[in-house]
Amino acid sequence: MRIIEKEEFKRNVKNLLIQTHYFLPEDVILAIKEAIKIEEGLAKDALLKILKNAEISSCLKLPLCQDTGIPQFFLNIGKNVYFDFNLKEVLNEIVTETYNQEKFRKSSVEDPLFRRNNFNFFTFFVDYKEENENECEVSILIRGGGSENMSRLNLFLPTTEFQEIIKYIINEVKNMLMFTCPPVVVSIGLGGSIDTNICMTKKALLRKIGERNKKEFYAETEIFLKQQINLSNIGPLGLGGKTTVLDVFIETLPTHIATLPVSINLQCHSYRRGSIRL
Amino acid sequence: MILEECNLNLNTHKIFVPLKDTKILHSLKISDKVSITGELFVFRDQVHKKIHSGQVSQISNINFQNSAVYYCAATEAKEGFVIGSCGPTSSYRMDDYTEKVLSLGVRIMIGKGYRSSKVVEFCKKYGAIYLITYGGCGALINRWVKSVELVAYPELETEAMYKYWVEGFEGIVAIDVYGNTLWKNFDLC
């Protein structure tokens, strides 16, 4: 049995949460640098601004985006790992202490209708590792309201032609793009039950840019969708251009014979994610 | 390296707010870049809703004539800073409340993303423009803000009404006074 102590867990995850707000992931920076090569005018200016923002953020410790959002934790726990603390309580301590200490915006309200008292809300999902039984992996995704609002779930008939689903995805993404901050990453979940479907779509955003689905058919579909959506001319920040989508991720799960859930989630360029192995 | 490359010599119109004369707005076209110096009113969803529903006693003495509004809710200022990260929020959420705000005298709206056709009509009617600034670039925009003042509705905390004094605050004309939109040539479905 491997015991993870509260202080060790807290120190490491807190540090990860702070870093996530100040450092744009390396693969995202590379993808933007690549895009700069093919853009000009306002589109190029916008992409350069995104890089400059990342530079200022890490140098001055100003959050990448003022929407410091909902922190979402994904834990992948080895079966021999034991926490000597209450996970939910400690995650709450981590979020509250970090947001107070770093003056991150408290972007949530306690009641969805009676909107008072800004506070910190977070979510966490637990899964169990099949390998590395003594290890625990903690991943964080920071979800801003703009990205969160640009989500869709549709339940297709199980007999729906795939072409129809592709058409639906392209139309919905184009509809949503001008309401968020392109260039975005588009995440798509096919199958599962509605709850696991959406969770899978979110979790796919932990993939690195350029990382393809292991099944060839879906890998090719990812590339096809990226090309199609980039023809829209929406461009960086909706100012026109070739770079609207940095990548498309597709994930699948087994599903019921009577249904075919499809969800879409957009992730803005302020792609705040990070992982740590404990 | 990045800092130097950022100057692409795009043709930029310099404007000062509140505007002395709204004539300059008629010379601005979609895709034009503008650089703003002066005072911005800063408020978003909840203040728009209050203004729309007539809860205006807290702001009845404020002169909005020819002013600019910036849709933003910043992070708090750390020591040594006047404000935290302060990028724009999605503007479409203000669309239903926009006419009331324009009728107070506001002539420039700054945010990010798409606006409804209703807002395009309001821009024509009131001779107003909508600017897109750099979404997701709150740390960069922080450098353009020189001072901050809380104006009204402090109970809304981060969503209260503020005034920012800005220098060289950049935006791109997305709706002009003639009702042209930046997205007219996009394939939005």
pLDDT of residue B6: 58
What is the Cα–Cα distance from B113 to B186, expressed in whole angstroms?
13
**Chosen domain end from A93, A124, A143:** A143
Both A115 and A166 in one domain: the answer is no
CB contact under 8 A, B172 and A42: yes
Tokens of A227: 């090309």
Both A132 and A187 in one domain: the answer is no
User: The tokens 């809300």 sit on which residue?
Assistant: A121
Both A175 and A253 in one domain: the answer is yes
pLDDT of residue B81: 97
Q: Which residues of chain A have pLDDT under 70?
A: 116-117
* Residue A160 forms contact with B (CB below 8 Å): no
Both A79 and A93 in one domain: the answer is yes
pLDDT of residue B7: 59
What is the Cα–Cα distance from A66 to A21, expressed in whole angstroms?
10
Both A223 and A211 in one domain: the answer is yes
Given a cut of 80, whether residue B88 has pLDDT beyond it is yes
Mean per-residue pLDDT for B28-57?
95
**Chosen domain end from A143, A170, A194:** A143
Given a cut of 60, whether residue B4 has pLDDT beyond it is no
Given a cut of 70, whether residue B187 has pLDDT beyond it is yes
Domains of chain B: 11-180 (3.20.130.10)
pLDDT: which is higher, A130 or B173: B173
Tell me the backbone φ, ψ of residue B111, rounded to 5 degrees.
-165, -145
Give the nearest chain B residue to A46 (CA atoms): B134
CB contact under 8 A, A66 and B75: yes
Both A108 and A186 in one domain: the answer is no
Both A116 and A216 in one domain: the answer is no
Domain membership of residue A116 (yes or no) is yes
Both A134 and A169 in one domain: the answer is no
Both A107 and A149 in one domain: the answer is no
Both A262 and A184 in one domain: the answer is yes
Task: Burial-class residue B137 by CB neighbours within 10 Å (0-12, 13-18, 19+).
Answer: buried
- Residues A238-278 pLDDT 10s: 999 999 999 999 999 999 999 999 999 999 999 999 999 99
For chain A, the domain total comes to 2
Both A6 and A103 in one domain: the answer is yes
Both A80 and A134 in one domain: the answer is yes
Domain membership of residue A236 (yes or no) is yes
Q: Give the nearest partner residue to A178 out of B81, B89, B114, using CB atoms.
A: B114
Given pLDDT bands bounded at 50, 70 and 90, which one contains residue B186?
confident
Q: Give the nearest partner residue to A181 out of B76, B136, B143, using CB atoms.
A: B136
pLDDT of residue A112: 86
Alpha-carbon dihedral sign for residues B82, B160, A180, B32: negative
**Half-sphere exposure of residue A171, counting CA atoms within 13 Å on the CB side?**
7
* Residue A208 forms contact with B (CB below 8 Å): no
Residue range(s) defining the domain that contains residue A117: 2-143
**Chosen domain end from A143, A169, A189:** A143
Given pLDDT bands bounded at 50, 70 and 90, which one contains residue B98?
very high
pLDDT of residue B1: 43
